[in-house]
Chain A
Amino acid sequence: MKKPDEFFSIYVVEDDDSVSRSLCALLNAHGYETIACNSAEQFLSVYDPCRKACMVLDLRLPGMSGMQLQTHLKDIHVSLPIVVVTAHGDVPVAVQSLRAGAVHFLEKPAQADQLLEAISSAGDMLFNRTPPNIPKKIVADRLSKLTDREHEVLRHLLEGKLNKEIANELGVSQRTVEVHRSRIREKMHARGIADLIRMVG
């Protein structure tokens, strides 16, 4: 159970009813208060700035998309930790949403522990307990191990580019780009693009 001073609500912005209800059930069971919204528009109409809250967001929504909602919130200076849960996670979408301020990016069906961990770190963020950042020194050490080419590939990855695009720009095959990517992940101790963005993005 959460301490009362660390209490926060979770907006579940999800258009699929059963997904929405099950998510709420899970989160409720873990002691979170949930507010279900079946569209971005509905969220905007019920959003209460005074309430401490974070958000579980599906990117694919009827009407305003998840991404648009993120952009919109940024525009109106609403900062709200967002955990993106989507059925179609690919690199450009993930990069875009992480850049737009999402703290986590999960693919459906999401493992419960992953989701809960994401929610908890969102809560930490909410109470200014920034997630255990990897010290800059360590990041710099890791970065220094990259070759020039890997640096270049990393820069392109952080811009949200696809393998194909990177291969095209560097004049190498996609296969080579993939090799570079796996080396980068290894050297940077990153599980995926989200980790990379968090470290150097």
Chain B
Amino acid sequence: MTTGQVDLETCDREPIHLIGAVQPHGALIAVNEESQIIEYASINTGSFLGSAPEELLGKALWHLIGKDNAMQLPNAPLDPSTPELLRPWFIRFAGQNGKLINTECLPHRNNGHIILEFLLPEPTPASIWEDELLRQGIISELVKPGALTELADASAKMIREVTGFDRVMIYKFAEDKHGEVIAEATNRPDSFLGLHYPASDIPDPARRHFALNVMRSIPDINCKSMPIVSRSGAVADAESDNPLDLTYSKLRAVAPVHVEYLRNMGVGASLSISLVTNNELWGLVACHHYDRRLISSSRLRFAELLGGTTSALLQSIENTNQLRKSIKAEKTAFRFEQQARSGTPLRDLIVNQASNLMQLMDAQGLLLSLGGDLIEVGSVPEKKLDFSYLRALLSDGVATTSHLSDVIEMSDAQMQVAAGAALLDLSEDSKDYLVFLRSNFDQTIRWAGKPEKIESRTEDGIARLSPRGSFALWREERRGKSRPFDAIDRDALRILRRALFALNSLERERVALEAQKISEAEEVRLRHALLDAARASSLGELASAIAHELNQPLSAIANYVNACRQEFRNAGVAIPARAEQLINEAVSETTRAGDLVRRVRDFISRGDLNADYIDLNKTIRQGIDLALVASQLPRLQVNLILDHNLPKVWADPVQIGQVVLNLARNSISAMQDSEKQVLTVEAAKTDGFVQVIVRDTGGGIPAKQQKHIFEPFHASTTKGMGIGLSLCRSIIEAHAGRIWSEPSTKGAIMAFQLPIRVEQDEKTG
């Protein structure tokens, strides 16, 4: 047998519920619900009901099963229920030849028909056997396991005990519909545990039937199926005018594709029980026997019960798992928040917790881009990938794919470790993100047995529809893909992302705040430096002013004494030796006093210029800012007219700042009582100089004082000692500049200029 004979594609379109035949281990009739006339019968009714189809078709049902039974039928539960349970109706009636017929009937309603399926009754009473098993507490065994795979294991074992099948497997269907064997109980040496199957192995129509018709028993796959004929005598299959819908039929014949599949595995009999949670096909219990195997209805019912219980438990475990993963994600997030609060940077938190995070997300690699740094943990591609393409898939800040190479172009080597990825957006500007990487799926499968040992019985190579063929195909399908990120993963990712995003925002804010604090501290430091310098140079200027003022009379004294001596000589007067000596001593005392004064001045004031090429704009702004701090003028308006192309000047920023501060202070105090309070500071380049002009709208400088304002101890403002402007002059002159006041009718205009000096680097030699 080769795969060519069956085509899985056509199967997808094939209406398997209109197969028009039953398996031979039972017989089927269908009556019109209203008229109770038998409209369909399988051709094997003779061996189960004692009457051939032609004897039944067109007759009322009671002719077959007797009036009493026929009257009971409408009261029986006929509609499909969820969870669907087998509801056998044990009836007996007299056959055509008067022989008593005992049968187990499974009736159900569908499309205006009541379909009755008849099975051979069990020889022993079923209830005792069931009670026995229940008493043994088998069900309670199922309730114990907390983990999904344990439950599946227990369930598989138990179903094998009850049914006696050679192999019982439990499949789980993933979101992408592909299947995985998560549990197996078998007496065979080989194992299918851990195998994956492509979604196409169970075509969609079959999937629908699995969901609608939970139990599917095929006692002998090699048997000949029994066609169902209608009153016209035609087979009631999809080809006929009025096919019979066998959706809920237990006896429905097996589709050729399914026979093929089972044959390829060498299976002789099969039983499947759908595991349905939330009306969705969660998985399947597949029982295989390598010979024919017909099991009794009671055991079938028990297996069904086990299947139903397993489904319910699976759902609860899965819910728990989901909850558990979410809780774990929440706990991780909470731990992050706690540690972040204690000052650990986010980057360290993530790096320290990387292996936990990867475990939580079933990831093998992790990449963190934070603040311009890229940190890699675990299995990551050697050559960097541009994950920004993943952003197109973002939803709630999380993007996931199990097939990253669909999104990002990559090499085979990269594909191995970055088959799938989840990206967590960690900042508004998309610069910070966390990526979990999942390796190629088949590298992450945890094998129970060796895949090579999987049995496949073929003459010419591996059959497509065999576990190994399927698995090979699945691996092919999965190349470059990772274990998919499912709803549970995505929930956990979102929880994690929400916390990390918030922490990152906080951290960014904190960093910004700290930067601001540092710059503020720097500002304060500068201010202090300026004020300190102001204090120091006021003292220095005081010393210098005193020195200057004292030097004047001292030099006058020396001059007078020297002149006096000369006048005596001119007059021809002989100066007595003693007087000559006294005159000399007087002169040398003035020199000594002058030196002393100079030394005091030098000691206090001679700070060397701490000069550099500076931007005067900045210095002006600082000086003005400082002056404004102390200003108490509510209406003060400050105009800074600066020139950003100002050439740099060689100057000490602190000292020049002090000049600006002094000038601005004078202006501000002069405007105390003015109607209009405008301080204007203008900086501009003039020929060879940078010139700064400070204007105010105060009372101006009286003409009488104009000449002396730069001399020390001529206080025009009443507060200080009157050395402010004198200090300004000293500073500016030490910079080889000039300071002056300009005559003005409105307010005062003070100006200074500093020479522009070309930086020497270029002009050597």
Contacts and interface: CB of A to CB of B under 8 A. Distances in A.
B424 to A, nearest CB: 52
A62 B738 contact: no
A112 B552 contact: no
A92 interface: yes
Contact of A19 (B555, B590, B611, B761): B555
A174 B553 CA distance: 35
Contact of A65 (B544, B565, B738): B738
B707 A162 contact: no
A22 B760 contact: no
Contacts of A22: 555-560, 563
Nearest to A85: B555
Contacts of B761: 169
B591 interface: yes
B745 interface: no
A88 B731 CA distance: 12
B608 A163 contact: yes
B431 to A, nearest CB: 41
Contacts of B594: 108-109
B752 to A, nearest CB: 12
B259 to A, nearest CB: 95
Given A16-B552, A87-B547, A88-B548, A62 B559 contact: no
A96 B736 contact: yes
Interface in B502-557: 544, 547-548, 551-557
A22, A92, A174, most chain B CB atoms within 10 A: A22
Interface stretch (A24-32, A45-53, A179-187): A24-32
Interface residues of A, number: 37
Main secondary structure on chain B at its contact with chain A? helix
Given A62-B711, A65-B738, A88-B544, A108 B555 contact: yes
Contacts of A67: 738
A25 to B, nearest CB: 4
A68 B564 CA distance: 34
Nearest to A112: B562
Contacts of B562: 26, 29, 112
Nearest to B765: A155
A160 B736 contact: yes
Contacts of A112: 558-559, 562, 587
Contacts of B733: 88, 93
B738 A25 contact: no
B445 interface: no
B555 A110 contact: yes
Contact of A165 (B552, B587, B650): B650
Contacts of A21: 556
A92 B558 CA distance: 27
A18 B562 CA distance: 14
Interface residues on B, range: 35 or more
A162 B608 contact: yes
B559 A26 contact: yes
Contacts of A63: 707
Contacts of B730: 88
B759 to A, nearest CB: 9
Contacts of B612: 168
Contacts of B547: 87
A90 B557 CA distance: 24
Contacts of B608: 162-164, 174
Given A163-B608, A164-B609, A30 B566 contact: yes
B738 A87 contact: no
Contacts of A92: 734, 736
Contacts of B558: 22, 109, 111-112
B570 interface: yes
A68 B737 CA distance: 11
A62 B708 contact: yes
B239 interface: no
Given A18-B553, A109-B555, A25 B560 contact: yes
B243 to A, nearest CB: 102
Contacts of A30: 566
B567 interface: yes
A23 interface: yes
A174 B736 CA distance: 19
A118 B738 CA distance: 27
Interface in A54-105: 62-63, 65, 67-68, 87-88, 90, 92-93, 96
Given A30-B566, A63-B707, A108-B551, A164 B738 contact: no
A1 to B, nearest CB: 9
Interface in A1-36: 16, 18-19, 21-23, 25-26, 28-31
Given A29-B567, A87-B551, A111-B591, A23 B734 contact: no
Given A62-B707, A93-B733, A162-B611, A28 B555 contact: no
A2 to B, nearest CB: 13
A174 B555 CA distance: 33
B723 to A, nearest CB: 14
A163 B610 CA distance: 11
Contacts of B587: 112
Contact of B559 (A25, A162, A164): A25
B591 to A, nearest CB: 7
Interface string B729-743: 010011010100000
A23 B559 CA distance: 6
A32 to B, nearest CB: 11
Contacts of A109: 551, 554-555, 558, 590-591, 594
Interface string B566-610: 110010000000000000000100110010000000000000111
Contact of B609 (A29, A110, A162, A169): A162
Contacts of A88: 544, 548, 730, 733
Contact of A87 (B548, B559, B610): B548
A110 B565 CA distance: 17
Nearest to A21: B556
Interface string A141-170: 000000000000000000010111100110
Interface in B607-627: 608-612
A63 B740 CA distance: 8
A162 B612 CA distance: 12
Interface string B709-746: 01100000000000000000010011010100000000
28 contacts: A16-B556, A18-B556, A19-B556, A22-B556, A22-B557, A25-B559, A26-B560, A26-B563, A28-B563, A29-B562, A29-B565, A30-B566, A62-B707, A62-B710, A62-B711, A68-B738, A87-B552, A88-B730, A92-B734, A92-B736, A93-B733, A108-B552, A108-B555, A109-B555, A109-B591, A112-B558, A164-B611, A168-B612
Given A87-B548, A108-B594, 12 more contacts: A16-B552, A19-B556, A22-B555, A26-B562, A65-B738, A87-B551, A108-B555, A109-B554, A109-B594, A112-B558, A164-B610, A164-B611
Interface of A: 16, 18-19, 21-23, 25-26, 28-31, 39, 62-63, 65, 67-68, 87-88, 90, 92-93, 96, 108-112, 160, 162-165, 168-169, 174
Q: Which are the 3 A-B pairs with shortest beta-carbon distances?
A: A22-B559, A109-B555, A29-B566
